[in-house]
Amino acid sequence: MDEQRLRALLESVRANTTTVDAAIHELRHLPFETIGDFARLDHHRALRRGFPEVILAQGKTPEQVAQIFGRLAERSNRVLATRVSVEMYAAIRDRLPEAIYHPLARLLYLDRSATQNRLDGIVVASAGTADMPVAEEAAITAELTGSRVERIYDVGVAGLHRLLDQAEALQRARVIVVVAGMEGALASVVAGLVAAPVIAVPTSVGYGANFGGLSALLTMLNSCANGVAVVNIDNGFGAGYLAGVINHLGRTTDGA
Amino acid sequence: MDEQRLRALLESVRANTTTVDAAIHELRHLPFETIGDFARLDHHRALRRGFPEVILAQGKTPEQVAQIFGRLAERSNRVLATRVSVEMYAAIRDRLPEAIYHPLARLLYLDRSATQNRLDGIVVASAGTADMPVAEEAAITAELTGSRVERIYDVGVAGLHRLLDQAEALQRARVIVVVAGMEGALASVVAGLVAAPVIAVPTSVGYGANFGGLSALLTMLNSCANGVAVVNIDNGFGAGYLAGVINHLGRTTDGA
Amino acid sequence: MDEQRLRALLESVRANTTTVDAAIHELRHLPFETIGDFARLDHHRALRRGFPEVILAQGKTPEQVAQIFGRLAERSNRVLATRVSVEMYAAIRDRLPEAIYHPLARLLYLDRSATQNRLDGIVVASAGTADMPVAEEAAITAELTGSRVERIYDVGVAGLHRLLDQAEALQRARVIVVVAGMEGALASVVAGLVAAPVIAVPTSVGYGANFGGLSALLTMLNSCANGVAVVNIDNGFGAGYLAGVINHLGRTTDGA
Amino acid sequence: MDEQRLRALLESVRANTTTVDAAIHELRHLPFETIGDFARLDHHRALRRGFPEVILAQGKTPEQVAQIFGRLAERSNRVLATRVSVEMYAAIRDRLPEAIYHPLARLLYLDRSATQNRLDGIVVASAGTADMPVAEEAAITAELTGSRVERIYDVGVAGLHRLLDQAEALQRARVIVVVAGMEGALASVVAGLVAAPVIAVPTSVGYGANFGGLSALLTMLNSCANGVAVVNIDNGFGAGYLAGVINHLGRTTDGA
Amino acid sequence: MDEQRLRALLESVRANTTTVDAAIHELRHLPFETIGDFARLDHHRALRRGFPEVILAQGKTPEQVAQIFGRLAERSNRVLATRVSVEMYAAIRDRLPEAIYHPLARLLYLDRSATQNRLDGIVVASAGTADMPVAEEAAITAELTGSRVERIYDVGVAGLHRLLDQAEALQRARVIVVVAGMEGALASVVAGLVAAPVIAVPTSVGYGANFGGLSALLTMLNSCANGVAVVNIDNGFGAGYLAGVINHLGRTTDGA
Amino acid sequence: MDEQRLRALLESVRANTTTVDAAIHELRHLPFETIGDFARLDHHRALRRGFPEVILAQGKTPEQVAQIFGRLAERSNRVLATRVSVEMYAAIRDRLPEAIYHPLARLLYLDRSATQNRLDGIVVASAGTADMPVAEEAAITAELTGSRVERIYDVGVAGLHRLLDQAEALQRARVIVVVAGMEGALASVVAGLVAAPVIAVPTSVGYGANFGGLSALLTMLNSCANGVAVVNIDNGFGAGYLAGVINHLGRTTDGA
Amino acid sequence: MDEQRLRALLESVRANTTTVDAAIHELRHLPFETIGDFARLDHHRALRRGFPEVILAQGKTPEQVAQIFGRLAERSNRVLATRVSVEMYAAIRDRLPEAIYHPLARLLYLDRSATQNRLDGIVVASAGTADMPVAEEAAITAELTGSRVERIYDVGVAGLHRLLDQAEALQRARVIVVVAGMEGALASVVAGLVAAPVIAVPTSVGYGANFGGLSALLTMLNSCANGVAVVNIDNGFGAGYLAGVINHLGRTTDGA
Amino acid sequence: MDEQRLRALLESVRANTTTVDAAIHELRHLPFETIGDFARLDHHRALRRGFPEVILAQGKTPEQVAQIFGRLAERSNRVLATRVSVEMYAAIRDRLPEAIYHPLARLLYLDRSATQNRLDGIVVASAGTADMPVAEEAAITAELTGSRVERIYDVGVAGLHRLLDQAEALQRARVIVVVAGMEGALASVVAGLVAAPVIAVPTSVGYGANFGGLSALLTMLNSCANGVAVVNIDNGFGAGYLAGVINHLGRTTDGA
């Protein structure tokens, strides 16, 4: 029920041309969700101000992606599309030159907000170089939520010293995204070193009994360390977004 | 938002003690769902008139089951509890002697409606005698929805003649529930014989590579026959309920 | 045993040139199924009158598909082929220009019946735009069974307000097909809102621990809502067909 | 390397009784971890001050649990043991009467801190009554981390109105734990309603193709809503702990 | 359609009291299967003469098993019940003292045929002593089909010499049943040594990544040796029965 | 140990130039397997006379396949290569024009034996046209073992009448190969109709929860009908070979 | 072929009472394996001197275990039985008082060899206290192979400092057994710290998505560290035995 | 903390310009791992002297592989890259002509050490020709660790005599790598013949229920033979490396 209809109904009640009973009846049978929806959207907008509008490009045509991205770019300072192919980017490049394409992370984004206002506090750590696409997807997403991201890559548990060399940086973080394929043990080891919440992203990197990321997923779910939660295999976006949300908790920010 | 509050608000608008803007604001920020909820519940009640109230007893204490069942029995002519243990029944037997317990199907139910008003049209077919608990769960549930049920048991595909002997009864049905464990092939064979919709229930009956009903589940999902849909393993209740819903489509009934 | 042979045998019994014992013997040893088959086919034809003849094109050559489709088009007003590739369509386009190809849903069909005779009552709801191919496969199939279909797309549970805005339309339906990938939660939420039977179609849309549609499949099978049954992953045809069958229950139709 | 040894070594360098080369050599070959370990522990202590010491009782004998719990109770105001059986509790009841045992959640805990200092901000929502043991494990754990917890139970998606009635409370939360078995769809629906991070706990509640919680786990991992991360099946402790950690971010607290 | 009804119909045709058209109509609409069924049963009886009547006791009550077994014992010389518990046997022991119970193989059987008429040709080989229950189920079943069985037990592939010592006996066999749990490699090795068909029975013996017999099942299905087919996990009966059927091919036997 | 060496050793013993002890020692430490191997090969050759030599082409280069095939063709009247690609066939076509390539079944074979000597008794039945490549692999393989094969295709259980029309042919068979994908129910239905052993071949035909043939595999393993054994998914060769072996049991043949 | 028969045959050749051709024939057709078997056993005995005789008690009766253990104890200084229940031990306790029962590891063993001759070089490390039964099974088994074992328990990766404190001991080892459940990450971390071969034992310790040890198994198989191999879930014996074998490589020992 | 900084700090303590307390503080808060890392690296270098530097090429660009390989080739006599594509090799061929590319095993390596110093003792055995790429990966890797490798290929268990012909060579080995796909039974059979440790490599060779190597993996994990450990599917490198490590135990070598 849009505001015009609601206002008209209430005016009519006030003018005594609609009885209270009739108004109650109408309120009950109109599409009720609209009212609640306004409330919720307002509420959300307040909380998520400055967060990007997000498009999952996978399964859409290049033209569809270009159109949706373009429309969002007209009304928002931060727009993000995930799982974007080169063909999709080609469809938007000329129309919207300010859009940036990151081929490794398969992200297409636009950020007109001031980067100096970003909140620090997020670390994205990854186990191997082959995990970098997912790690970058997480890192760029988190940046678009208005956070600064420290990248600590190639610190797999088989070479513990490289990880331990970064212990201080890890311990400074407010929230950590850990990206790892193969055996995925990095999440447990990092969570054992820090007090911050750890968001673990299993990747499909590996072969054989990796089963498309299942091994790393199970490892992370079964972590014996406290403070770890897991997102879907290769879901760098999800982890970066959640890290951004958590990083904004308890902060006052003027971003976007 | 309950009706009293809504009425008071509208009266206040009418009396001019609340402005239209204030009323709009309040409508937006009050728990909006209640309004819609009333509407939806009314709508549902009309559609589901005569359908039983249902309790999933599994995971509740005997006392909890007894209390919930008792309260529902005060306001409804048909009450059904599924996955009821003997201990749960013992907790209610004396308090509500009219409740009937079916130990094989693990159902506890009460039906004060006139059974002569039941709509015919449902057949429940099962493959082996070990599938009978699930088949009975489906059949009794369907009866409590106000349908008459014809039971055709022990007609597994390894003895095709027993099934074919029942072809006429199957072809008369408006909707058929097929219950089968082991290889679960009965659903495909029945669906190939009839025009009615078939609701397939895989059971966990079997051993070895049955994997707790997975084999029958996959068989039924992959049915090459048209007109088959599947419910969860051992979910006789779900199939019986859905069969009842389908059987009432296009009928006018005075049940319950 | 075709009718000619059967008639000849019975005439011979009547003429006393065949003894009753010999006739019994012959009846027993001739391919007995034919008799029953006639009965069954007649029975089916009455029930399914107006339903399309269906071809599963997958695994056939373009030439085979074209030939079978052509033969069926000679004797039936409604023909449907599923999982049709562009190459298969190319093989039939010139021979049968009235055949329509829907590349997204990969359906090839022909419908000479009057669309105004279609029965309303079916809603096809889908969660995301990437589920649209499967949803369209379901919707077009249902239309070919002689039903009108209301499409409610892109109402995934993460944006509940879009779904609730369509609550009225959902509650009007006699039978609902819900198509969803990823977590597949839409089926439960819709089934909780309506009294109509819900046929759930998991799709393989998603990635990672989606495991080719397994996540949505399990979600739908484990639905806590009453009145849900599930078809195979991506099986839009099966759901649309079953919805059509259910929608015709209790109706008198002059279709086809 | 404990501080005494390190100090002695440095004093010896200062006193010129150890050469710099010899000191470097010794520093390299002593158990190097101890140094870092002190640093890390200090760091942790600052961050996690007031958090409980935790024991996983599963796989230990009652006597072992009692002894470890007793020792921790001597030096900490908050002690928590998870997966505690009645037998284990019996072993400690008399020795430590102030310990509280929660049989449903199988938690044994002791909390001498002032509950009025708890930070609000955490909601624990669960789908069905059978999910309550896991939900309580999460809620009590979160309370022991120094947070206040609002419990919103029995709001499964099949009865959406009950959930929507709580929309306001959900939208007030800083962090939400969602506990659900069967199809586990609650996490997506809640995450679609709020801006706060959602920690999803799949439970093993259900039967058939639930496969011990796998269905809910996959649903949650594949959530189409932003801002969801998942912990292990039935891991209420893990979710409650992580919620506590997140809830303390950006807060100054004097707890414990 | 039983013979009486069919005969009456034909007599009536002959007597001219039923027209040929009416008879054709009746033949088509009567339960047609009965005719075919008679034919098939006769055919089967000739082929399977002397084979036992079989009851799957699992999922039946002791009383049910006792009654069915008793009835079959009245009309057959060989009766076999599988998966029989001690309680089931207790229910029949006094009523039918000639029935033999094999607790390890969980078989209850009765064999009044002359054992000297058994056909030789079957070997049952098993890998470990823990596989013996399944091996005995296979061996006794095969004996009840009228074959003599040579048992070669405890010849697992880790001690190849024990197996090779039996090479001659294996090479003499017409059909071999191989029973093995754990890695199940025995089937391939035996099939490589002989020209006879090998029926492989995976058992659930083992632990860990055995997954209830899955490891042996997959091993046997993937056998690189020619001439191996597999039955369900722990399905000694199925293998023994099939071996009996194969062993009778091309033989003339006066058994039973 | 080849015969020359063995003969030399024994001559030397006879000539007293080698002591018995030295001969025993040498016999023990020479590659002992050779002796046994001769015996076994002879034994096999007698039994399998006329059976083809078989090459698994998959994983070999075209040149390797051509060379091995050519060598075998020099010394054997029947040669069979499975999983042969078009490229592999191209490598041998000119060198060995009498070799026949069956692109659907991906078989390359050569058969110089007289086809009139083939033993009848084998039926290969398949459920759908998409199962034909595997069915043909089985049928041609069985023919190369010296059997005649009756093909009964496209008799899936969803159209039971087509199958029942072939009941007589099925009941005449000595051994039946059943090839089916999707739900794989055909094996159970056929085994229920006949007394002959049934070798079931699951195929990977299907989609969705078919999981590459797993659904049909599990269906067949869990068959409730007696007399069924299963080979690997898509393993038409294995089934045809085994059927040939079984069909030769108890026969005297002059083939090859 | 035992030595007596072989000797008699050769004597007969020498005495010219058997022709060379006849001897060759006899050698070929006698059970050839025996010869090789002697050779192999001798060979093995030399290599494995001092290794224990091993019994897998699981699936045997207490009396069987007692008898086999007793017989082996008569001829061997080291006997080991694995998976031994208390009941099994009770059957042997009085008969063989020197046998030692370890209830946690479920091992029954007897070792009359001098423990001072044991070779050092093996470390058994475990992640949690609940992994101790499997770790002890590995450690005791390794000791019975004649090695000394250093136990490093409770060094899970969530508390890295405890593990690093033991780095020196780990780096001294010639071969390391790593026992871990839950996420099983310890194997990778240890292998990254040392140059010695690591034998990883996943345990079934954990819950939820641990799936009976599958999570730890996959983690270990996918280890990104070099030098790791894996044994079956909970297979402490297998790891301890293999560690013993490896530890003896290149050593001269007088043990046992 | 590099040595310069450490030395400066200690000099400063000695010079009394830094207090002991300040030095302790600095030592604690500097990246502590560096100290330990030096120690560990030294330790490793001693142990692994002569072992190759290894690069996992998968997931890197050809240019990245070429650069890393080139850098390592400057400071090491043995460099190995695994999973190298032809494109990667093309990028390095001209720059480093001495690098050798093995297209089957997908290895790129460089070995300037003297091959005559290699330690013998390793056998790599494989079941089928299709397993050769993985077997070669293992063999070449083992050679690069400084061992001589005896290759025993195409000795699958279905032709046991070919394997037994090689028994002597197998029994001479100090450590054996067994490579097998399909049912993977070779590992158990080999381990039963020898006393040496067996490292089993399952391959993804096969089809159907092979499930990408899962069948061979489970077979090998469940081996009933003692002395077997398993690496990941297709992980020839891992097995060859571990075999090399084990083969060097107890040897003094001057290699590299």
- Beta-carbon contacts below 8 Å between A and H: 52
Amino acid at position C183, single letter: E
H164 to chain F, any CB pair closer than 8 A? The answer is yes
- Beta-carbon contacts below 8 Å between F and H: 51
Q: Write down the pLDDT at residue E160.
A: 82
Any residues with CB less than 8 A from the CB of G131 and at least 6 apart, and which? Answer: G153, G179, G180, G181, G203, G205
Answer whether G14 sits within 8 Å of F11, measured CB to CB: no
Q: Write down the pLDDT at residue C255.
A: 37
Q: Write down the pLDDT at residue E149.
A: 97
Q: Write down the pLDDT at residue C4.
A: 67
A202-241: b or e for each residue (b if 16 or more CB lie within 10 Å)? bbbbbbbbbbbbbbbbbbbbbbbbbbbbbbbbbbbbbbbb
Confidence of residue F123 (pLDDT cuts 50, 70, 90): very high
Residue of F nearest to C214 (CA): F209
Any residues with CB less than 8 A from the CB of C21 and at least 6 apart, and which? Answer: none
Amino acid at position A246, single letter: I
The answer to whether residue C48 scores a pLDDT higher than 70 is no
CB–CB of H233/G243 below 8 Å?
Answer: no
CA distance G71 to G59: 19
Q: Write down the pLDDT at residue B48.
A: 47
Helix axes A86-93, A62-75, angle to 10 degrees: 50
Q: Write down the pLDDT at residue E250.
A: 80
Q: Which residues of E touch C46 (CB under 8 A)?
A: none
Q: How far is D156 from chain G (nearest CA, A)?
A: 21
Q: Write down the pLDDT at residue E44.
A: 38
Answer whether E164 sits within 8 Å of F250, measured CB to CB: no
Answer whether E33 sits within 8 Å of B205, measured CB to CB: no
Q: Give residue-wise pLDDT tens across range D216-256.
A: 999 999 998 899 999 999 999 999 999 999 999 987 543 33
The answer to whether residue H49 scores a pLDDT higher than 80 is no
The answer to whether residue E41 scores a pLDDT higher than 70 is no
- What is the pLDDT averaged over residues H26-32? 52
CA dihedral H33, H36, H37, H39 (to 10 degrees): 170
Q: Give residue-wise pLDDT tens across range D60-116.
A: 889 989 988 998 888 788 899 999 999 999 999 999 999 999 999 999 999 988 777
CB–CB of E133/E97 below 8 Å?
Answer: no
Using alpha carbons only, give the angle F233, F237, F238 rounded to the nearest 5 degrees: 70
The answer to whether residue B63 scores a pLDDT higher than 60 is yes
Answer whether E160 sits within 8 Å of H189, measured CB to CB: yes
Chains D+F touching (3+ CB pairs under 8 Å): no
Confidence of residue D28 (pLDDT cuts 50, 70, 90): low
Q: Which residues of F touch C40 (CB under 8 A)?
A: 161
CB–CB of E146/E119 below 8 Å?
Answer: yes
Q: How far is G4 from chain D (nearest CA, A)?
A: 57
Q: Give residue-wise pLDDT tens across range F16-27.
A: 888 888 887 676
Q: Write down the pLDDT at residue B33.
A: 36
Q: Which residues of H touch A210 (CB under 8 A)?
A: 232
* CA–centroid distance for C158 within its chain: 30
Write down the residue that tokens 């006392």 correspond to. B63
Residue of C nearest to D167 (CA): C160
Q: Write down the pLDDT at residue A77.
A: 83
Q: Which residues of F touch E196 (CB under 8 A)?
A: 47, 245
Q: Which residues of B touch F219 (CB under 8 A)?
A: 183-185, 215, 218-219
CA distance E253 to E116: 11
CB–CB of D216/G208 below 8 Å?
Answer: no
Q: Which residues of C touch F104 (CB under 8 A)?
A: none
Averaged pLDDT of chain H = 84
Q: How far is C36 from chain F (nearest CA, A)?
A: 8
User: What's the burial of C21, exposed, middle or buried (CB within 10 Å: 0-12/13-18/19+)?
Assistant: exposed
Confidence of residue E252 (pLDDT cuts 50, 70, 90): low
- What is the pLDDT averaged over residues A169-179? 94
Chain H partners (3+ C-beta pairs within 8 A): A, D, E, F, G
CA distance A216 to A225: 15
* CA–centroid distance for E226 within its chain: 23
For an interface test with E, give the residue of B165, B183, B234 to mutate (most E CBs within 10 A).
B165
Q: Write down the pLDDT at residue G48.
A: 47
H245 to chain G, any CB pair closer than 8 A? The answer is yes
The answer to whether residue F46 scores a pLDDT higher than 80 is no
Lowest mean pLDDT among D28-42, E220-234, F134-148, F165-179: D28-42
Lowest mean pLDDT among B190-194, B229-233, H112-116: H112-116
The answer to whether residue F192 scores a pLDDT higher than 50 is yes
Using alpha carbons only, give the angle H171, H172, H178 rounded to the nearest 5 degrees: 60
Averaged pLDDT of chain C = 84
* CA–centroid distance for C127 within its chain: 21
CB–CB of B206/B161 below 8 Å?
Answer: no
Chain B partners (3+ C-beta pairs within 8 A): A, C, D, E, F
User: What's the burial of G209, exposed, middle or buried (CB within 10 Å: 0-12/13-18/19+)?
Assistant: buried
Residue of A nearest to D248 (CA): A250
User: Which span out of D156-160, E126-130, E176-180 was modeled with the highest average pLDDT?
Assistant: E176-180
Q: Are strands D107-111 and D78-82 parallel, antiparallel or unpaired?
A: antiparallel
Answer whether C218 sits within 8 Å of D218, measured CB to CB: yes
Confidence of residue E7 (pLDDT cuts 50, 70, 90): confident
Q: Write down the pLDDT at residue D161.
A: 77
Cα radius of gyration (chain C): 23
D23 to chain C, any CB pair closer than 8 A? The answer is no
CA distance E119 to E114: 11
Q: What Cα–Cα distance (Å) separates residue E209 from each residue in B3, D6, H221?
A: 60, 48, 7
State whether residue A202 is helix, strand or coil. Answer: strand
Predicted-assembly ipTM surpassing the 0.85 threshold: no
Residue of H nearest to D36 (CA): H32
Any residues with CB less than 8 A from the CB of G5 and at least 6 apart, and which? Answer: G30
- What is the pLDDT averaged over residues C173-198? 93
Q: Write down the pLDDT at residue G42.
A: 33
Any residues with CB less than 8 A from the CB of B175 and at least 6 apart, and which? Answer: B121, B122, B123, B196, B197, B198, B199, B243, B246, B247, C249
- Beta-carbon contacts below 8 Å between B and D: 52
The answer to whether residue E254 scores a pLDDT higher than 80 is no
DSSP chain B: --HHHHHHHHHHHHTTSS-HHHHHHHHHHS-THHHHHHHHHHHHHHHHTTPPEEEE-TTS-HHHHHHHHHHHHHH-SEEEEES--HHHHHHHHTT-TT-EEETTTTEEEEE-S-GGG-EEEEEEEESSGGGHHHHHHHHHHHHHTTEEEEEE-S--GGGHHHHHTTHHHHHH-SEEEEEE-TT-THHHHHHHH-SS-EEEEE-----GGGGGGHHHHHHHHT-SSSSEEE--TT-HHHHHHHHHHHHHTT------
Answer whether B171 sits within 8 Å of C242, measured CB to CB: no
Between C63 and B47, residue with greater pLDDT: C63
Lowest mean pLDDT among A187-191, A197-201, D30-34, E92-96: D30-34
Write down the residue that tokens 């699930």 correspond to. B134
CB–CB of G219/G16 below 8 Å?
Answer: no
User: Which span out of A46-55, F39-48, G26-35, H201-210 was modeled with the highest average pLDDT?
Assistant: H201-210
Answer whether H242 sits within 8 Å of G197, measured CB to CB: yes
Nearest Cβ partner for F59 among H168, H205, H211:
H205
Answer whether F39 sits within 8 Å of G33, measured CB to CB: no
Answer whether A14 sits within 8 Å of B11, measured CB to CB: no
CB–CB of A143/A256 below 8 Å?
Answer: no
**Percent of chain B topping pLDDT 70:** 86
Maximum pairwise Cα distance, chain H? 79
Any residues with CB less than 8 A from the CB of A187 and at least 6 apart, and which? Answer: A178, A180, A198, A200, A219, A220, A223, A225, A228, A230
Q: Write down the pLDDT at residue D43.
A: 35
- Which residues of chain C from 182 to 221 reach within 8 Å of chain F, CB to CB? 202, 204, 212-214, 217
The answer to whether residue B142 scores a pLDDT higher than 60 is yes
Chain G partners (3+ C-beta pairs within 8 A): A, D, E, F, H
State whether residue F199 is helix, strand or coil. Answer: strand
For an interface test with D, give the residue of G154, G155, G165, G183 to mutate (most D CBs within 10 A).
G165
Q: Give residue-wise pLDDT tens across range H128-168.
A: 888 999 999 999 999 999 999 999 998 988 878 788 888 88
Low-confidence ranges of chain G (pLDDT < 50): 1, 29-49, 253-256
CA distance H102 to H132: 12
Confidence of residue F28 (pLDDT cuts 50, 70, 90): low
The answer to whether residue A254 scores a pLDDT higher than 60 is no
Tokens representing residue C103 in the block: 């590349």
CA distance B208 to B244: 34
